[in-house]
Structure formats: structure tokens, C-alpha cells
Amino acid sequence: MLAFDCGELVAAIELKSIGSSFGNNANNRAEESIGSAVDILEAFKSELFGSCKIPPVMGYVMIVRDCPESRNRGKTVYSPHFPIDPMFENASFLERFRLLCERLRKASLYNAVWFVVADPVSGSVVEPDEAMTYEVFRENLVSGLRIHRAARKGGWASPL
């Protein structure tokens, strides 16, 4: 989802979900999330989104289906060349996705991250990490868009 102001990209939100085939698709979702963020930031640096001097506000939403397969600890993680991050050892797919989202946020690849676990059968929706709730996600987006608005209005008067 993209938001423009006067023809310039001011926000981009990546919307992803996974509800089945966790073993086959988990790595794909991780690669897509990192690749999309890097692509957007590189395009911004190359001024492909207009002359705005502030990078677009980046949001990432991940909805994971709560089911036995997503709670499964799955296969043992294996790497023939390097040690495995201990955080992934014995981690369920839900835990792995939460960790991915946390790392995307901490690395500042995305300004706002919302991580949701949903069960379509029961209708339950859980936000298992208080730093990645809808409220925090929304506030981060709004704050970033306020910065764009202030810059557009010339409201960036430096106190220095």
C-alpha cells in the first residue's frame, strides 16, 4: 500500500500473511520483507520517488495463522557452514515470525511493524508483542507522516 503527497511517495506499507505451508514459505516471507525495504530505501536514495529529502515512512504488517502447524517446532534448523542463532533453535513458526518482525523493527528497515496471530476458525486475534501492536504501528506511521507534512510546509526550522 502506497501513500503519495504532491506526487512524492511518503509512505509504503507491506502487507503479508501466512496461513499454511509454513516450512516452505517462511524463508520466502523473510526474504521478501528485507528485500522490499532495501529496494524502497535504495530507490529513495536515487531520488526515484521525487525530490523529497525525507525517506518514506515504512510499515510492515505480518498476520500469521494460529494453528497446530504454526505452533509446531518443525524441523531442526541446520546450517553446514555457520552456527545457528540460538533464538531459532526449537522455535515454532509463530516465534520465528515474531523474531523476524522484531528484527525488522530494531534494524530500522521499517518504522512501524504490526505482528498479529489470528485464528480464522475461532475469530481470535492476538498481538503477542507490545512493541508491535496496532496502536504502536499506527502511532509510528502518524508520527512519520507528520514529519513529512512539516517538511512540506517548510516547518523544519532548526534551533541550531
Q: Which 8-state DSSP code applies to residue 53?
A: S
> Does 109 reside within a domain?
yes
Establish if 160 belongs to a structural domain. Answer: no
pLDDT at 56 over 90: yes
Question: Does residue 155 sit within a domain?
Answer: no
| Residue 98, domain extent | 2-149
Kindly report, residue by residue over 113-129, the tens digit of the pLDDT: 999 999 999 999 999 99
Q: Is 157 inside a domain boundary?
A: no
Does the residue 159 lie in any domain?
no
Burial status of residue 96 (CB atoms within 10 A of its CB: 0-12, 13-18, 19 or more): buried
The verdict on residue 102 lying in a domain is yes
What pLDDT digit, counting tens, does each position of 81-98 carry?
988 788 877 889 999 999
- Whether 49 is in a domain gets the answer yes
Q: Residue 72 domain-assigned?
A: yes
pTM metric for this prediction:
0.88
Radius of gyration from C-alpha coordinates of the chain: 18
For helices 93-106 and 22-45, give the axis angle rounded to 10 degrees.
Answer: 10
- Structural domain tally of the chain? 1
